[in-house]
Structure 1
Amino acid sequence: MPVLNEEPFLESAVRTILAQDYAGEKELVLALGPSRDRSDDIARRLAAEDPRVRLVPHPERDIPAGLNPAGAASRHPIVVRVDAHSELTPDYTRLGIAALQREGAANVGGIMRAAGRGPVQRAIARGYNSPFGLGGGAYHGDGRAGPAESAYLGIFRREALDAVGGYDPAILRGEDWELNLRLRRAGYTVWFEPALGVTYWPRASLGDLARQFFATGTWRAVLVRRYGRENPWRFFVPGALVLGIATSLVALALGALGFLPLASGWAVLLAPLALYALGIAVAVLRIPGQRGARDRVLTAAALVTMHLSWGSGFLRGILLGGGRVVDRSRI
C-alpha cells in the first residue's frame, strides 16, 4: 500500500485488510511517502499494534515508485496491491486468490465502487460509478467475469509480476493499465472478477478532482505516444471533446463580434457545444442516487470537471509529454 497524506482514510483501509477472512498467511507492507499530515504516525502505531504490518520508506510522491519497493519487501508468492483510499470487502482476498488459481491468471481485479460523505464527494462518486463519467473499464460497472484489458488494484502472481519488471516508475499515472498491458503482451491473463468489491473514496472537491484528472489525462497521452493503437479508442474522446468545445466557443465569440455572419454557416460550429450540453442533461437525468436540484447541479459539475480536465491534460500530454505534471490533489 503506497501512503501519502492519507490521515482520514489510512486506519480504516488498514483494518479492512487485516480483517480479511483469508485463511492463509498475510502481511501488509506500507510504503510511506513524504506525507505532511499524521499518516506516518498512524502507520507506526498500527505497525506497533500488529506485527503483520511492516513499513518501508518511500521518499518519492509517485505511486509506482512506492509500489515496487513495497512489493520487493513482501515475502509471499501472491502480491495484492491495495490503496489507502479504499476499503476491501471481508472476502476480497479469499475470492480473489481463488479466482487467480481457478483461471490460471497472472492478475485478478474486481469492481471499484466509489462512495462519498458530503454532497460534492457523493456527486463525484456518482460520476465514477456511471458510464457517463469514466465509462469503458469493466471495473467501473457490473460486467461479467472474464479476461480483461486491465484490473483495478490487482491480485498478482509474484513470478508474473517479476517477469515483466513490475511497475514502470516513469509512468506517474495509468501505471495499472501499463503494467497489465505488459502482462498481456507476455502471454499472461488479466482476469476481471465482479465478485470482488472495493469501496473507493474519491476526491472531495471539484478543484482536487480537476488536478487529479488533468494529471491522469496527461499521462494517458504519454501511454498513447508510447503504445499507439494498443490504447482503446475511448481514451481519445475527451481530448476530441475539448477541441470541439473550444471550436464552438471561438465561433460563438467571433459570431457575437460580427466577424462570422450567420449566413456563413458559423452556427454549425456550435454543434459540439450544444451536443455536449445535451449529453450532460441526459446523463444528469439518468444517473441514479440524486435527490433534488442541488444534487443534479453537482452531478453535472462533477461530470464536466472530469471530462474537460482529463481532455485538457490529454492534449497537453500529446503535445508536450508528461514532463513535470503530477497529481497534486493530495499534496
Structure 2
Amino acid sequence: MTEAQALPLPGNADSRRIGTALRVPVPRPVPDEVAPAARREWPAVSVVMPVLNEQKHLAASVGQILGQEYGGELELIIALGPSKDGTDRIARKLAFSDARIKLVSNPTGRTPAGLNAAVLAASHDIIARVDGHGVLLPGYMEKAVRLLEQTGAANVGGLMLAVGETPFEQAVARAYGSKVGLGGGSFHVGGSEGPAESVYLGVFRRDVLERLGGFNDHYHRAQDWELNFRIRQAGELVWFSPDLAVTYRPRSSWPELVRQFFHTGRWRREVIRQYPDTASARYLAPPVVTGAILAGTVAAAVGTVAGVPLLRHGRLAPVMYVLGVLIASFREGRGLPWRAQALLPAVLASMHLSWGAGFLFGRRPGPVADCPRR
C-alpha cells in the first residue's frame, strides 16, 4: 500500500431521489429529527487522523471509527508522521485490509500540518477529527452529524473522556477531568449542551475550514483552540454536547506528563500573546502559582542566609501550595484505587508546575508570519 498523495479538493454532488411513476405521488419529506435513521440519507464523512508514535492505540482507534453504525459513507485519512515505533507498519496493514483508509505523509510530524494534509486528501464535505489515541464511543458520528444539521454550527464536539489503565494513568485521567487539574473547561469536566469556546477534537463543515485556511501550522499545540477562536471570530458557531464523548488515553509516565504540560503552558502563552483578549484566570493560574512558589522559596533561602526574619516567611508559599494540593487530591480522588489516590497529589503538582514553567520559561516560537497555515 502506497501513501495517497494530497489532491485538489473534489466537490460532492447533491443527489435527490425523485418519484417518477405517474400514478405514485412524491412523498413529503420527513424532518430529520423524527425520521428513523434507516429512512434518511446520511452525508458522507471524512475522518482525519494525524499520528506519531501511536503503536499502542492506533488499531483500537481505527477499529472504533470504521465500526461506527453510521448510515453514510465513511473514509479515514491517516497522516503519518516520522514515528520511531511500529505506527507506520500498523497503519499500512490497516490500509491494506480496508479500502476506506487512505495514507498521506506528514514529514514534520506536527499535528496541524498532518491535519491539513489529511483534509486536503479528503473527499467529503464533513470533516471529523480523531487522534490516534482517541476512541469514539458508539453512535458518535451519527450524533455529531445530526447536531451539525440541527444547530447550523461550523464545529460540534464534546468531552475528552480520559480513561487510564495503570494507577498512574488513572490518577492522570482523574486530574484531566477535574477543575483543579485542567481548570474546568466544559470539554474536560462536562456541562450543558450549547455554544462553547472550544470542544474536544470536533466535526467540522469543510467549507468553513477552507474559508479560514485550516489549522494554523504555527501552533504545534493548542491548534484546536486557536482554530475554534477564529471560527467564532468569523461569526460561526462552535457547539458543545456532553453526548459526544471520545475516550482519551492519558500519558503513562512522569517524563511524558511533564513534557506534555510544559509544552502546553508554552503554547498557551503563545495563544495569549497573539490574542490578548483570551487571557483568563484559568490559563494564568499555573504560571502565577509557579512564580509565587519560586519567589517564596528564593526569599526564604535569602532570609535564612542573610538573617532577615521577614524574608523567611516566603516558605509559606510552597507550604500553602502543598497543603492545597493535598486537600484537593483528597476531595477529587474519591472512588479511585488507593494507589491512584496516593499518586494524585504528585500528578496535580506536576501538571500545575510544568504548565507554569512552560508558560514562564518556555522558548518562544518564531513569528506567526513565518509559519503558513497550508
TM-score by length of 1: 0.93
Q: CA deviation at 1:278?
A: 2.0
Within 5 Å, give how 1:234-249 maps onto structure 2: 234-249=282-297
1:4 aligns to what?
A: 52
Cα distance in 1 for partners of 2:357, 2:209 equals: 33
Q: CA deviation at 1:75?
A: 0.8
Three-state SS of the structure 1 residue aligned to 2:275 is: helix
User: Residues 237-263 of structure 1: CA distance to partner in whole angstroms, max 9, x if unpaired?
Assistant: 111111000011112212332x1432x
Identity, in percent, stands at 46
Three-state SS of the structure 2 residue aligned to 1:8 is: coil
Q: CA deviation at 1:215?
A: 0.9
Alpha-carbon contact 2:304-2:312 (below 8 Å) kept: no
1:79 aligns to what?
A: 127
One-letter code aligned to 2:335: G
Give the structure with the larger helix fraction.
1
Specify which of 11, 29, 38 is matched with residue 86 of structure 2: 38
- Highest relative contact order (Cα 8 Å, sep 6+), 1 or 2? 1
Q: CA deviation at 1:323?
A: 5.4
Within 5 Å, give how 1:72-221 maps onto structure 2: 72-221=120-269
Alpha-carbon contact 2:288-2:356 (below 8 Å) kept: yes
Quick check: which has more Rg, 1 or 2? 2
One-letter code aligned to 2:357: S
Q: CA deviation at 1:267?
A: 4.4
One-letter code aligned to 1:296: Q
Alignment pair present for 1:295 and 2:340:
yes
Of stretches 281-290 and 5-14 in structure 1, the one that deviates more from structure 2 is 281-290
One-letter code aligned to 1:284: S
Q: Following TM superposition, where does structure 1 have runs of at least 4 consecutive aligned residues deviating by more than 6 angstroms?
A: none
Q: Which consecutive unaligned segments of at least 5 residues does structure 1 have? A: 325-331
One-letter code aligned to 1:261: V
Q: CA deviation at 1:227?
A: 0.6
Q: CA deviation at 1:123?
A: 1.2
Q: How many residues align?
A: 318
2:330 aligns to what?
A: 285
Three-state SS of the structure 1 residue aligned to 2:181 is: coil
Q: CA deviation at 1:113?
A: 1.0
2:21 aligns to what?
A: none
1:322 aligns to what?
A: 365
Provide the alpha-carbon RMSD of the alignment.
1.5
Three-state SS of the structure 2 residue aligned to 1:220 is: helix
User: Residues 73-109 of structure 1: CA distance to partner in whole angstroms, max 9, x if unpaired?
Assistant: 1111100000111101011111011111111100011
Cα distance in 1 for partners of 2:248, 2:97 equals: 25
